[in-house]
Amino acid sequence: MSEKIVSFFSGAGGLSLGFALADLKPVLGVDINDDAYSTYKSNLGIPCHNLDLNASDKCSLIDLLSPYKEVFAVIGGPPCQGFSTAGSRNELDSRNQLIFNYFAIVEYLKPKWFLFENVEGLLTSNSGKSVFELVRRFISLGYLLRLEKVNFAAYGLPQSRKRAIVIGNRIGAFFHFPPETHSFNAGKHNKLLPLFPHSPTLDEAISGLPEAVSYECFLPYTHAETSSEYEHFIRQSNNSGGVKHHFSTPSANELERYSLLEPGQTMKDLTESLWHPSFRKRAFRRVKDGTATEKRGGAPAGIKRLYSHLCSPTITSASSREFIHPSLDRALTLRECARLQSFSDRYVFSGNTSSIAIQIGNAFPPLVAMRFAQHLMQIEAKVGSGLISLKEWEAQLIGYRLTDASGMSPALMHTESLLKSLMFNLG
């Protein structure tokens, strides 16, 4: 019988879908957002509760959670906007407390395993104290855990997407993260390893889709055959014979901008008279106070034509407005963004265009979730067959990786010094 998992801050269900693809059994999702809740329920076919995990009264939360005590795994990604380097980073943002709500759920349910996901900004937020405190609490709860920043492209995603992941168990299994399987090249972010296959390119990820139209409707595939392994993965469970969410409606102004951009070029490469008003406002604001836009949290909003032969940059809720197709004069469609996030073509999202864009941009890519879930099952199998010995262990941070780069920023160095004190239970 499949092991059961429960997901909190479950969003559209990317994590749960990936765990289901690895033959685990999602039995519960919880999210505050009506549309995400509805997407989760209709695609995964299991109960999802529409609940504010910050404000729910304790008794009703306990009623909801109690059937899942000592479940196999708790998985989830509390909201990250408060930590995100792409937003205005606010350490007092109440959403930042939600990581401790996630902890409280693990504390109550005591799962064998948990997987926690957040943006890399968590690692340096609040001078590293937020992540330090989270890890410290998991240790005091009796977990062995690891914290790593990973780029999901290294697991075969056609997208550079860096996230901080914490995985823990209370069965006493010393473990590593799943080994990386792919080389990748997303331009600025790349990792080229000679013996590894390349992650799919943007072109491979979005190939085989029908021509996009200008309104939401069902569009049948025009080719029965798939042209890449990735497309096969995306299409394999889609029995509907086509896709939704594959539309784009550029205005005349947008069309003019798009037509002038070559792959790799952005709004900045257009003459100033063509800049979008919001982009111009930001650009001049930067000049006025002399602060680089990167330092205010986030690259300047603006359009960018993508390269077909590279992995895509990180998909966010803005991607279906800002990422321009490599060869067509339109932005990526929601379906193309969902494909770059490795959602099956059968997945149908609830809500209006901007709500769907948020759900897709927020999601944990199912393909990577599947690889992590398979890895946990392999560890369980090794424990079961005695290949991993569980004798004499103490809760602790077994390891961390805060960056792939050779050097560390002063902020990361500070976080590292805090985390070191938790290694081998020294803290």
Ligand X SMILES: C[S@@+](CC[C@H](N)C(=O)[O-])C[C@H]1O[C@@H](n2cnc3c(N)ncnc32)[C@H](O)[C@@H]1O
Question: In terms of Cα–Cα distance, which of 404, 393, 400, 389 is closest to 422?
Answer: 400
**Which amino acid would we find at residue 426?**
L
Q: Would you say 250 and 268 are in contact if contact means Cβ atoms under 8 Å apart?
A: no
- Give me the least distance between CB of 328 and ligand X, in Å please: 28
Q: Taking contact as CB under 6 A, which single stretch among the options 6-14, 151-159, 208-216, 260-268 is the one that binds ligand X?
A: 6-14
- Give me the least distance between CB of 32 and ligand X, in Å please: 4
CB closer to ligand X, 77 vs 200: 77
Q: Taking contact as CB under 6 A, which single stretch among the options 9-17, 263-271, 323-331, 384-392 is the one that binds ligand X?
A: 9-17
CB closer to ligand X, 80 vs 135: 80
**Residues whose CB falls within 8 Å of the CB of residue 111, separated by 6 or more in sequence, listed in order:** 6, 70, 71, 72, 73, 74, 170
How far apart (Å, rounded) are the C-alpha atoms in residues 33 and 10?
Answer: 10
- Give me the least distance between CB of 62 and ligand X, in Å please: 16
Determine if 79 is a binding residue for ligand X (CB under 6 A).
Answer: yes
Q: How many CA atoms lie within 13 A of 47 on its CB side?
A: 9
Query: Binders of ligand X among 83-112, rule CB under 6 A?
Result: 98
Question: In terms of Cα–Cα distance, which of 337, 331, 339 is closest to 303?
Answer: 331
CB closer to ligand X, 96 vs 199: 96
Give the residue at shortest CB distance from ligand X. 11
- The question of whether 80 is a catalytic residue gets the answer yes
Considering only 28, 48, 53, 306, the residue that binds ligand X (CB under 6 A) is 53
Considering only 3, 27, 31, 412, the residue that binds ligand X (CB under 6 A) is 31
Considering only 3, 10, 311, 324, the residue that binds ligand X (CB under 6 A) is 10
- Give me the least distance between CB of 11 and ligand X, in Å please: 3
How far apart (Å, rounded) are the C-alpha atoms in residues 421 and 427?
Answer: 5
CB closer to ligand X, 83 vs 400: 83
Given 80, 217, 311, 337, the catalytic residue: 80
Q: How far, rounded to the nearest angstrom, does the alpha carbon of residue 307 sit from its chain's CA centroid?
A: 22
Query: Binders of ligand X among 222-251, rule CB under 6 A?
Result: none
Q: Compute the residue count for the chain.
A: 427
Question: What character string, x for contact with ligand X (CB under 6 A) and - otherwise, covers 396-415?
Answer: --------------------
Q: Which backbone phi and psi does 389 adopt, to 5 degrees? A: -90, 140
Q: For residue 272, what are the CA distances in angstroms to 216, 267, 280, 355, 357? A: 33, 9, 8, 31, 28
Q: Would you say 95 and 36 are in contact if contact means Cβ atoms under 8 Å apart?
A: no
CB closer to ligand X, 98 vs 153: 98
The position carrying tokens 């139209």 is: 213
Considering only 22, 36, 270, 419, the residue that binds ligand X (CB under 6 A) is 36
CB closer to ligand X, 31 vs 380: 31
- Give me the least distance between CB of 133 and ligand X, in Å please: 19
CB closer to ligand X, 155 vs 364: 364
**E strand segments, 43-187:** 48-50, 73-76, 113-119, 144-151, 162-169, 184-186
Query: Binders of ligand X among 326-365, rule CB under 6 A?
Result: 362-364
Q: Strand, coil or helix: what is 338?
A: helix
Q: Taking contact as CB under 6 A, which single stretch among the options 50-58, 292-300, 313-321, 384-392 is the one that binds ligand X?
A: 50-58
Considering only 9, 72, 103, 114, the residue that binds ligand X (CB under 6 A) is 9
Considering only 14, 82, 128, 326, the residue that binds ligand X (CB under 6 A) is 14
Question: In terms of Cα–Cα distance, which of 378, 41, 373, 366 is closest to 233?
Answer: 366
Radius of gyration of the chain (CA): 22
How far apart (Å, rounded) are the C-alpha atoms in residues 6 and 23?
Answer: 14
Considering only 21, 80, 154, 356, the residue that binds ligand X (CB under 6 A) is 80
How far apart (Å, rounded) are the C-alpha atoms in residues 304 and 99?
Answer: 33
- Determine how β-strand 184-186 pairs with β-strand 189-191: antiparallel
CB closer to ligand X, 122 vs 332: 122
Determine if 33 is a binding residue for ligand X (CB under 6 A).
Answer: yes
Question: In terms of Cα–Cα distance, which of 137, 185, 194 is closest to 160?
Answer: 185
List of residues contacting ligand X (CB under 6 A): 9-15, 31-33, 36, 52-54, 77, 79-80, 98, 362-364
Q: Which residues are catalytic?
A: 80
